[in-house]
Structure 1
């Protein structure tokens, strides 16, 4: 195995036919056009024409010549033989009787089709691998595969599998070390010390600060949990890593890659790394934790407002509604009796004659007294909002419960640096004053 990131099977398949070739690929890559046929027709004998054609389509497909030019799938042999009008493809075996023939044909194909040897393109490939590694942080196997594809597209003959694999591994490692160096170079002496201290377990503590930050506060909508979340934001922000400008110097994917490792690796494992990798990982992880702790805090505030403000206001309003319900039902029944008597009075007296008020009252008071009606009217007026009022009575409870979250709203802008456009500036100012918006 040339290098550790390739398996034995992957290394053995490099620059070789692997599996079958589809009909679509046969027609796209293995088709011999007029220029190809003119070159092929210079050969004498069908076995020479067939062997030369196989070398031509093989280097076009694989990006390299085979040690045994006849080591091709049967489908490729038959497709090429059919194009040449060769009825018996087995006669191609005669092509390798003279060893110098295949080398002469390879040289001719290089010259006619402008194929480059790898050494001439090595510097350019190194630059390509370096740019890819710096920008994406992709693994060596992915870069190796794409590097081989890039060479084929540029008509550069592939080197040996060990040569290409070592190049990719070396350049990628160099770029990774350069990345660590850039991030480490942003840190002052004090910041290096503080970051390293994140891995240590302080006296009286059970875990390191890094582990505590990674775990974060419990997702509960309570005041104490909110205080812990805000304290963590303040701790992380206090390190001042945002002012270093790492995001402007290092691609976001590389920072994310380091932070992902820093969020999962044990403190003991991080301590074993060299200073460059350790500090770069800690810096990227702290930058990630700063954003994560702010997001977690805002989510906790949302949860707190839902549990302590909205839900409890709704519950209080519902309880009050239930409490009023028996009284409201009794009062409504009394008023209904009075209204029914009023309607029944229609038609009293003679034709076109309105009933006298005293008669209506006598009819009503026979069922319910005036005092009871006044009391019922008071209950209904107190319990039922006006017709044009907001039907969501629970909203009135919000004002009374606002003090449970107003302190946190006032504290948020002091801990978290918010930005605001012209429309949001008033809301941000209200938050700083602890006033409802």
Structure 2
């Protein structure tokens, strides 16, 4: 008896939720419920419904997949789901709707009665929009890392390796010139003579010959 009572209360709460969400969808756009239901239809010449197509995440790391990811985001964004004012609906309840919609096939969702179908489709597509944006951003970051940043780093490392022999030679020359300069400065300090520029130039040339 108690279980039956609890089940009845829960069912009535769910019905109020469906009605509230569906009403907000219609207030945002009277044609939106039909548009969302249209995602459950398999277009002519296609093998899967539009909902199943939009559920497909990028499969490869390529520019073509990046373009598909952008189109996926644009197709969902075209519904302008942000217009639907459901801020007073508990987040937990919307997550439950989204989870059910995400885990159900299109034919099952198509058989739902109104207003449950509209409410469930809103929850599912809102969740799908966030997922599509995340997938597009992740793919963009990955392509940037593998196609742009990594090759640039490899090229930079290769250029540094190619410069090593020249850098080593320049380092040795600088070391010899430094030693000559120090010797001349020590001599100036000891005898009080002027700095011998010719000696410095001779040391620089000797370093070059070596």
Structure 1 residue 258: Cα displacement = 0.8
Count of matched residue pairs = 205
Structure 1 residue 309: Cα displacement = 4.6
The answer to whether the Cα contact below 8 Å between 1:338 and 1:368 also exists between their aligned partners in 2 is no
Structure 1 residue 251: Cα displacement = 1.9
The answer to whether the Cα contact below 8 Å between 1:202 and 1:208 also exists between their aligned partners in 2 is yes
1:260 to 77, 99, 109: 99
The answer to whether the Cα contact below 8 Å between 2:19 and 2:115 also exists between their aligned partners in 1 is yes
1:272 to 111, 124, 142: 111
Which sections of structure 1, spanning at least 5 residues, go unmatched? 1-161, 373-437
1:210 and 2:51 equivalent?
A: yes
Question: Residues 353, 261 of structure 1: CA spacing in aligned structure 2 closer, same or farther, 3 A cutoff?
Answer: same
SS of 1:273's equivalent in the other structure is coil
Q: Highest relative contact order (Cα 8 Å, sep 6+), 1 or 2?
A: 2
SS of 1:203's equivalent in the other structure is coil
Structure 1 residue 209: Cα displacement = 2.0
Question: Residues 368, 194 of structure 1: CA spacing in aligned structure 2 closer, same or farther, 3 A cutoff?
Answer: same
**Residue in structure 2 matched with residue 341 of structure 1 by the alignment:** 180
Question: Residues 294, 367 of structure 1: CA spacing in aligned structure 2 closer, same or farther, 3 A cutoff?
Answer: closer
1:294 and 2:138 equivalent?
A: no
1:191 and 2:24 equivalent?
A: no
Task: Quote the Cα distance in structure 2 between the aligned partners of 1:339 and 1:206.
Answer: 78
1:365 and 2:198 equivalent?
A: no
Instruction: Please list, as runs of the form range in 1=range in 2, the aligned pairs for 1:350-361 lying within 5 A after superposition.
Output: 351-354=191-194, 356-361=196-201
Question: Residues 274, 353 of structure 1: CA spacing in aligned structure 2 closer, same or farther, 3 A cutoff?
Answer: same
1:331 and 2:175 equivalent?
A: no
Larger Rg, first or second structure (1 or 2): 1
Structure 1 residue 213: Cα displacement = 2.1
The answer to whether the Cα contact below 8 Å between 1:347 and 1:354 also exists between their aligned partners in 2 is no
**Residue in structure 1 matched with residue 78 of structure 2 by the alignment:** 238
Deviations 1:132-156, CA, capped at 9 Å, x for gaps: xxxxxxxxxxxxxxxxxxxxxxxxx
SS of 1:368's equivalent in the other structure is helix
Question: Residues 173, 344 of structure 1: CA spacing in aligned structure 2 closer, same or farther, 3 A cutoff?
Answer: same
**Residue in structure 1 matched with residue 65 of structure 2 by the alignment:** 225
Question: Residues 282, 358 of structure 1: CA spacing in aligned structure 2 closer, same or farther, 3 A cutoff?
Answer: same
Instruction: Please list, as runs of the form range in 1=range in 2, the aligned pairs for 1:97-176 lying within 5 A after superposition.
Output: 162=1, 164-176=2-14
Deviations 1:87-118, CA, capped at 9 Å, x for gaps: xxxxxxxxxxxxxxxxxxxxxxxxxxxxxxxx
So what's the TM-score if we normalise by structure 1?
A: 0.42
Structure 1 residue 260: Cα displacement = 0.3
Task: Quote the Cα distance in structure 2 between the aligned partners of 1:366 and 1:217.
Answer: 64
Structure 1 residue 308: Cα displacement = 4.3
Question: Residues 205, 341 of structure 1: CA spacing in aligned structure 2 closer, same or farther, 3 A cutoff?
Answer: farther
| Cα RMSD, aligned residues only | 2.8
Structure 1 residue 261: Cα displacement = 0.8
Task: Quote the Cα distance in structure 2 between the aligned partners of 1:216 and 1:336.
Answer: 59
Task: Quote the Cα distance in structure 1 between the aligned partners of 2:13 and 2:199.
Answer: 103
So what's the TM-score if we normalise by structure 2?
A: 0.80
Deviations 1:151-197, CA, capped at 9 Å, x for gaps: xxxxxxxxxxx2x2222111211221222222333336632332222
Task: Quote the Cα distance in structure 1 between the aligned partners of 2:207 and 2:88.
Answer: 88
**Residue in structure 2 matched with residue 314 of structure 1 by the alignment:** 153
**Residue in structure 2 matched with residue 377 of structure 1 by the alignment:** none
The answer to whether the Cα contact below 8 Å between 2:73 and 2:132 also exists between their aligned partners in 1 is yes
Which sections of structure 2, spanning at least 5 residues, go unmatched? none
